[in-house]
Structure 1
Amino acid sequence: MGHYPSLTKVATSLGIDARELASKKEIKGGIEGFSRINLERCALSLAESGKWDAFMDVLALIIYGIVLFPNVENFIDFAAIDIFLAFKHERKSPIPAILADTYHSFTLRHERRGGMILCCLPILYLWFTSYMFKRGSQIEIKNKSEWAHNITNLSEKTISWYSREQNIDEVVCQCGDFPNVPLMGTKGCVNYNPALAIRQLGYPIRIPPVEDSITPFMVYDMTKELDMLNKIRHSWDRVIKKGRELGKRNCYVEGSYQQWLSERVQHVKLPFRGPILIIEETTIQEPMSLEEIEKLKEELAKSEKEREDMKRELIQARQKYQEVQREISQARQRVELAN
């Protein structure tokens, strides 16, 4: 909400002297926080003193600031610290904030027509590759041109929409008076539209979404939008979830949604530059159940045994063939001697 924890609270939570922590505070680009190197030195000092609980907290805080909620390079700001403390003391999941920063960065870069994506890139990469590649396939190192060709050739048939291993029974579809799901991150607020992502959660899409449910909004400066922040925060007290009413899980699109999607793609798709390499589409099947996997394992073991038996028979046949050849050779020699 723009009101970050005091130095005293941070020091108490981390088990560090408040005066020592205050001496390490810095300001970069108008943002308060701590440099990575100072927190690493603090963690080493705690490890040498045998204060392992405090050491783990400082290490986790570094990960929050550098990996999960990056802002200024090698700098852990108070926004990341606030989320870490919310998890440590109240067990509030950081996932909504990570999702908010990802959508916020994408939307901001799209509106400004370029710039650096600033969010948790490892999780974004994992999410992207989990849909783009078959499960269990090896992801090779690619250059920019190869990535561009792969991305521009993505289609409905080449995307793995849903993994049964996720086992999602209910989906958050709406919060409070919002027609979708508002998210609050470290850099601003943005809404998430489940109506456009329901297929990735394993449920079919039959009709076009209601326009209100996909209307985007953005909050850029959280210090000036306190009323909106309060509305978003209170909306999470009334979360609306859906499960069975979404239909039987199959990840298909039906009815008039396909036509609506085609028209929307023409309206919002990003322009591709340069020639696009046409790659033959391959259908990616849904992941198999455990029973199917076990059955395949049994069939594979049976095939391996049959292969070994055939290999053994082939060796025996070759040995017999060689013996017959030797007998024929010896017979020929005897005939020649007799002649």
Structure 2
Amino acid sequence: EYTTLLHCPRIQVDKVYSRDANVLTFTKKLTKITGMSEQWVAAQIKQKGENKCIPWKSLRDQILAHLDTKKRVDVFALSIYGLVIFRKALGHIDEAVTDLFDQLDRMVTLVPAILAETFRFLSVCRRTGEGRFIGCKQLLLVWFHSHFWKMDKELSATLRCDDITEERWMTILQNLQDEEVEWRAPWMVVDEIWYHCGDFDWVPLLRIWGAIGYAPLFMLRQYRSRQLIPATQGLAECEFSYSCNNYRGKIRKMSNAWKQIHPVKRITVGATTTPEYHWWRSKRINDNIPRPREERKIEQLEEEKLHLGLDVDIHKMEAEKLRKGKNKAEEDLD
């Protein structure tokens, strides 16, 4: 949906951003983008916590005064990326944003990076029970209206999210009913789901400040397909920042995984959830992978996969995991 909303015809949807190993210095990147001298750029750079950045005021002056029209547009675009889409310090554009911006000419898609920041901040707020969402609020609000437009005329008619009080938001979200949720945006025509990349059981998303894992099989209902329990074992360990040890090796592994995307055709079914999924979601079990049970036969798994339209690879993968889990359980009992 974000790809459609952003409407960038030049991007390749499977060519993702990843941090360059031999990246230029912040000063050199800004010099290249703005067309200004290194001396001028160096004088504008500020330190905000652990990150370097440049104030919006410095870039705004260049947008108004620069003689090169293309450079004015580039600086304006960089400002939007740094102030709206990838925000870090208020009123400043972070150094990491310039690295992504520098790669746009290679036709990389920035959508996975946007999603990575969105999922990370939402997850932090959910885990702690508090906090502020620092991702791209504008895109998230458009997504929100696309899926919850039926539930409240007041919400649908409100053009600005600031016009709805915090208490009103809480009331709306706490009283959501299944029939009020449009699982799939009416204008979406995609009939294919990317459910994992490379050797990962999910899709690794590279952020501009780190990485996070995401399991698209969580959202099968969004495609009106049957929702079951996704494999999430090890998903939490997929999250890291670029300040951790050996992050370059992790980036390389994730980037290579995107060269092996595994799509699946969606299939519309009657019942959109399995009983097991309802139980799992109510318990909110993390790092879950289906365990072998006497009453859960391989044939039943195959039937579930048939309803999903998953390809042969995932059939074999899940069956093999079941067999390994069963063997381990028997060894533990012995």
| TM-score, normalization by structure 2 | 0.70
Q: Indicate which of 230, 243, 250 corresponds to 1:223.
A: 243
Q: Deviations over 1:63-89 (max 9, x none)?
A: 0001000011111011111111111x2
Task: Give a deviation string over 1:3-60, Cα, whole Å, max 9, x none.
Answer: 54322243223322232222211111121120111111121121xx3x2110000000
* Identical positions, percent: 21
1:90 — aligned with what? 106
Structure of higher CA gyration radius: 1
Which amino acid letter does the alignment assign opposite residue 81 of structure 1? Answer: T
Structure 2 gap ranges (5+): 1-18, 286-334
3-state SS of paired residue (1:157): helix
Write the mapping of 1:18-29 to structure 2, written as runs, cut at 5 A.
18-29=38-49
CA distance in 1, matches of 2:126, 2:185: 29
- Give 2:254's aligned residue: 232
Structure 1 residue 54 and structure 2 residue 71: aligned?
Answer: yes
Q: Aligned to 2:199, which of 177, 189, 214?
A: 177
Is contact 1:189-1:220 (8 Å) kept? yes
SS in 2 for 1:166: coil
User: In the TM superposition, what whole-angstrom CA distance separates every residue of 1:228-270 from its partner, at most 9, and x where no partner exists?
Assistant: 2221121111111122xx32x46x544xx4322322332239x
Counterpart among 132, 139, 144 of residue 157 in structure 2: 139
Contact 1:191 1:216 in 2 (8 A): yes
Tell me the equivalent position of 1:120: 136
1:162 corresponds to: 184
Show the counterpart of 1:204.
225
1:109/1:145 Cα in 2 relative to 1: closer, same or farther (>3 Å)?
closer
Residue 192 of structure 1 deviates from its aligned partner by: 1.2
Q: Which runs of 5+ in 1 are unaligned?
A: 270-339
SS of residue paired to 1:12:
helix
- Counterparts in 2 of 1:184 and 1:28: CA distance versus 1, 3 Å: same
| RMSD, matched Cα | 2.4
**Aligned-residue offset at 1:184:** 1.0
Whole-Å separation in 2 of the counterparts to 1:144 and 1:189: 30
Shift of 1:135: 10
- Does the 8 Å CA contact 1:175/1:235 hold for their aligned counterparts? yes
Residues 116 and 38 of structure 1: is their aligned pair in 2 closer, same or farther, counting only changes over 3 Å? same
Counterpart secondary structure, 2:280? helix
Corresponding residue of 1:5 = 24
**Of residues 204, 214, 236 in structure 2, which corresponds to 1:192?**
214
1:83-140 Cα shifts (integer Å, max 9, x gaps): 11111x2121111100000111122233344222221111111112211113996433
- Name segments (4+ residues, structure 1) moved above 6 Å: none
Amino acid at match of 1:173: Y
- The answer on whether the counterparts of 2:229 and 2:276 sit within 8 Å (CA) in structure 1 is yes
Q: TM-score, normalised by structure 1?
A: 0.69
**Secondary structure of 1:73's partner?**
coil
Name the aligned partner's letter for residue 33 of structure 1.
C
Aligned to 1:42, which of 62, 83, 94?
62
Q: Which amino acid aligns with 2:48?
A: K
Deviation of the 1:207 alpha carbon: 3.9
CA contact (8 A) 1:109 1:116 kept: yes
Asked whether the equivalents of residues 220 and 227 of structure 2 are also in contact (C-alpha less than 8 Å), the reply is no
Note if 1:80 corresponds to 2:80. Answer: no
After superposition, residues 257-336 of structure 1 pair within 5 angstroms as 257-268=273-284
